[in-house]
Chains A and B, each alone.
Chain A
Amino acid sequence: NAGVTQTPKFQVLKTGQSMTLQCAQDMNHNSMYWYRQDPGMGLRLIYYSASEGTTDKGEVPNGYNVSRLNKREFSLRLESAAPSQTSVYFCASLGPTYGYTFGSGTRLTVV
């Protein structure tokens, strides 16, 4: 039982390049989330999907897009990466009663 799987674990991009972060969960959870974590700022919500077929903006959505491909998969896309998007990205899913289960994270550096 893998929980939440994120790929890749590390990535270096040049400014203007695009990439997609992949996330999949095998817990049959309806809701999935993308957060970024920056030093001193805690986790900030980028986008979320409360259920299959729906997506909504969080606190810091600019520069990102998402796709809820099916119940298991929720991807985050950076269309034109900027240095300000250098961060650690976490995908999470939410079960019926408790808190999030997080993926292992993606460390992204934009140069």
Chain B
Amino acid sequence: QKEVEQNSGPLSVPEGAIASLNCTYSDRGSQSFFWYRQYSGKSPELIMFIYSNGDKEDGRFTAQLNKASQYVSLLIRDSQPSDSATYLCAVRDDSWGKFQFGAGTQVVVTP
């Protein structure tokens, strides 16, 4: 059974600080990794994807991938109250587009 693991949180972050979210996955052959943000009562929305080892930056978000350690992370810089949400880590499972999702990490940004 392929697994994607995340700390459930909540992760409490002061406004303006960096939020660091972690995700590990079990399938060493995985190639594509995604971060989704989900506000309460809403559907997930894609915020980042990463395919190669290293860092990928998009605005205040940075995704980090280490395939050797089977680890992917998301950094949110200058955290804002609007960043308060659950963040889902997802790993693309195969060529048919199936994804394995983690259970999500709840982030709470406190003013």
User: Residues of A with Cβ closer than 8 Å to B?
Assistant: 31, 33, 35, 40-45, 48, 50, 56, 58, 90, 94, 98-105
A45 to chain B, nearest CB (A): 6
Q: Are B44 and A48 in contact (CB under 8 A)?
A: no
- Candidates B36, B42, B102, B104; contact of A99 at CB < 8 Å: B36
Interface string of B39-71 (1 = CB under 8 A from A): 000111110010000000000000000000000
Residues from chain A with a CB closer than 8 A to the CB of B4 are: 42
Count how many chain B residues have C-beta atoms less than 8 Å from C-beta atoms of the other chain. 20
**6 closest residue pairs by CB, A with B:** A102-B43, A42-B103, A43-B101, A94-B97, A42-B101, A99-B34
Q: Are B102 and A102 in contact (CB under 8 A)?
A: no
Q: Which chain B residues in 81-111 approach chain A with CB under 8 Å?
A: 88, 90, 96-99, 101-104
Question: CA separation between A67 and B98, bound complex, in Å?
Answer: 18
Asked whether B22 is an interface residue with its Cβ less than 8 Å from the other chain, the reply is no
22 interchain pairs, CB-CB under 8 A: A31-B96, A31-B97, A33-B97, A41-B103, A42-B4, A42-B102, A42-B104, A43-B44, A43-B88, A43-B99, A43-B101, A48-B96, A48-B98, A50-B96, A56-B96, A58-B98, A94-B97, A99-B34, A99-B46, A99-B49, A99-B99, A104-B42
